[in-house]
Amino acid sequence: MAKLTMKRIQIAALMENRKEILEYLQRKGAVEFSDEEDDSLAKINTSEMISQFEKYINTAVQAKGILEEYAPPKKSLLSSLNDRRELTENEYSKYFSQRDEILRYCYNLVEYHKAIADRRAEIVKANTQADMLRVWLNLDIPMAFEGTKLTRCFVGTLPVQYSKEALLGKISELNPELKELDIEIVAASKEQTCIAAVCHKESANDALAALREIGFAQASEPIKLEPKARLLQIENEIAGYKKDIEESINNIKSYSDKADKIEFLIDYLTMRRDKYCALNKIGLTKRTFILKGYIPEKYVCGIVSELEKKFDIAISVTDPEEDDDVPVLLENNNFASPVESITEMYALPAKGDVDPSPIMAFFYYFFFGLMLSDAGYGLVMVIFSAILLKKFRLKDSMKKTLRMFLYCGISTVFWGAMFGSWFGDIVSVINVQFLHGTTVNLALWFDPIKDPMKLLLWSFAFGIVHLFVGLGVKFVTLWKDGHKADAIFDVIPSYLLILGAAPLAAGILIPVPAILGSIGKYMALAGVLLVILTSSRSSKNIFARLGGGLYGLYNMASGYLGDVLSYSRLLALGLATGSIAGVINLMGSMVGNAVLKGIVLTVVFLVGHPLNIAINLLGAYVHTNRLQFVEFFSKFYEGGGRAFDPLRVNTKYIQFKEEIQNG
């Protein structure tokens, strides 16, 4: 299992069967098409059709979003975990026959939404006009009024506050000869003064010039109605706009039962777009088409026999060439498959790599549990994950994630029991505070809070095993590839150096038997000599080889020292979980009165421990990933592979009952 073996496949068939063959391959989702140049074959340019499908998809997605905004479906909090809904062949045929009608629904929804947006913009504009008009409500003439036969009227604003007397005095100073002028102050504030000025027609120019000299600006949008009448008109317009919006919203809500159909349309159009993208990669003659690509070996027999049974077709299946860009598809058992996403997060295996997921899975769960290390928290994880896996029809990716947390939870229960942590020391707290007993030691092994040095040393020991497994994988890979000398000289010295240095380093912290110290000293010395002699073995110059060997020794010693010390995070996170849990329990039991203490402890327990679980779950996830990526993968794993990307039913909302999931 693990990394599936890929084969090259070439299919040649009659043009008249192209549609059926492509749809069959899309349903199976097991063939990745290659876009290979061949001057003897023509190609179809489907970019225009792809663009059209993209446009339809965007419209349908927008329509779905509009429905969810104005007529949100009634769903439970956990319903989003459910996998795509299944469609029978009859249901698919029914929706398929309605596809043009469903697309019209989408366009209608988009139009209604646009009408709502337009009306809301009109309301904003009208409210702005209304706000501007409110300062003019005391004006009893239209703002557009220009005067009578013998008079001129100027309606506008001044940039500062004036009283009538001050304003007339200011104008008199500017033009003493201007007599026939009357000004009405409509409104005044620190920011502006709204006025209506009336003068004789013959002195209009002088009056306007004087007003402009002190900053007068005529109304930019003079209206032909009195401000009160215009404001009432605007308010009626706003009421009309709101009515239009309500009508459009009701129209949108009337499509609430069409949500399933719109989801079908999105997936149907996506499948059509993907198929036309695949058509770009197909070579054509006058009567036949030829496609080339990759197929996992495990699917070859079934697909080839099915195609040959249904169509006049020629199929060739061969091994990939050495320089082919072969895609990668991982497939593992239920224990290892949950951590495939961790591998993919780092990088898919390259051509010469093994899939690290099966090897990594045990250590991933092991270290995760050791970092979280509270049996109560582990039980919560196990129960929650098990219920979701049992009760919900989950998406594939969500299933794998929950399985990962299920196994991590089991590991957490194990380590929590070994260290005696069940929601911290809650058992002891209840026994001492409420039952008047003594502190209870539930540890099956030891309590790391009381003996952290012991956990630190065991963390280093577990880390060394982890590193050695990584080096072991490197040894096996090099040996199988025929690089036997490299396998020996790149791995064995590391084993000797680390195994030799381990008891010497441990002797600094704890007593170590003299025999182990002696053995360790000679093993470390042997490792040092081998590193110096073999690090630059490709060099022919003895001095270059010696210098390269010393440099290699420095890199190896410092590198492995840093790697081993990295596993101290197992101690740090393990202690953090238990310590915080203990503090939570202490906070809840500080009250003197027994009844009140029980209430407070319950509240603090129900609030504090979920927060502690959430925080330390994140910490355990991040640091477990880091141990795999930095310490483990660096010993043997290159990465850089390309994901297998077949033509498939790439749907988001629906799936067919006969659909086969291959990835």
Give Rg (Cα) of the chain: 39
- Is the pLDDT assigned to residue 383 strictly greater than 90? yes
- State residue 1's pLDDT score: 53
Question: Which is higher by pLDDT, 618 or 535?
Answer: 618
pLDDT of 532 > 90? The answer is no
Nearest 10 degrees: Cα torsion 73, 76, 80, 85: -70
Pull the structure tokens for residue 241: 């706009």
The reported pTM is 0.81
Predicted confidence (pLDDT) per residue in 536-592, tens digit: 776 776 767 777 778 777 777 888 888 899 999 999 999 999 999 999 999 988 888
pLDDT at 157 over 70: yes
Closest Cα partner for 555 from 531, 539, 529? 531
Report pLDDT digits (tens) over 214-252: 999 988 777 888 999 999 999 999 999 999 999 999 999
Given a cut of 90, whether residue 379 has pLDDT beyond it is yes
Give the residue carrying structure tokens 């990594």: 360
Residue 73's identity, in one-letter code, is: P
Directed axis angle between helix 452-480 and helix 357-372, to 10°? 170
Strand partners, 194: 157, 187
State pLDDT tens for residues 72-107: 887 766 666 677 778 877 888 888 899 999 999 999
Q: Write down all domains in the chain, each with its CATH number in brackets.
A: 141-225 (3.30.70.2750), 340-445+453-635 (no CATH)
Going 111 to 115 to 116 to 118, the CA torsion angle's sign is positive
452-495 pLDDT tens trace = 999 999 999 999 999 999 999 999 988 988 888 888 988 898 88
What pLDDT is attached to residue 367?
96
Residue 663: the pLDDT is 33
Please tell me the distance from the alpha carbon of residue 210 to that of residue 63, in angstroms, as a whole number: 59
Mean pLDDT computed over every residue of the chain: 89
Give pLDDT, residue 381: 96
Task: Note the pLDDT tens digit of each residue in 107-120.
Answer: 999 999 999 999 99
Dist CA 441 CA 418 (whole Å):
11
Give the pLDDT score at 486: 85
Q: For residues 639 and 635, what is the distance between their CA atoms, to the nearest angstrom?
A: 12
pLDDT at residue 332 in the model: 92
For 579, the 3-state DSSP assignment is: helix
User: How do residues 577-610 score in pLDDT, each as one tens digit?
Assistant: 999 999 999 998 888 888 898 899 999 999 999 9
* Residues 342/625, Cβ–Cβ less than 8 Å: yes
Distance CA 152, CA 165 (A): 20
Report the alpha-carbon distance of residue 183 to residue 153 in Å, rounded. Answer: 10
Query: What is the predicted pLDDT for the residue at 548?
Result: 75
What order of strands is seen across the sheet that includes strand 181-188?
181-188, 193-200, 151-158, 217-218
Q: What is the pLDDT of residues 165-211, one digit of tens each?
A: 999 899 888 888 887 889 999 999 988 999 999 999 989 999 999 99
Tokens of 211: 């007003």
- Spell out where 85-174 has E strands: 85-87, 151-158
Q: How far, in Å, are 65, 380, 609 from residue 577 at the CA level?
A: 42, 15, 10
Instruction: Please report the beta strands in 442-596, taking only residues with DSSP state E, as ranges in sequence order.
Output: none
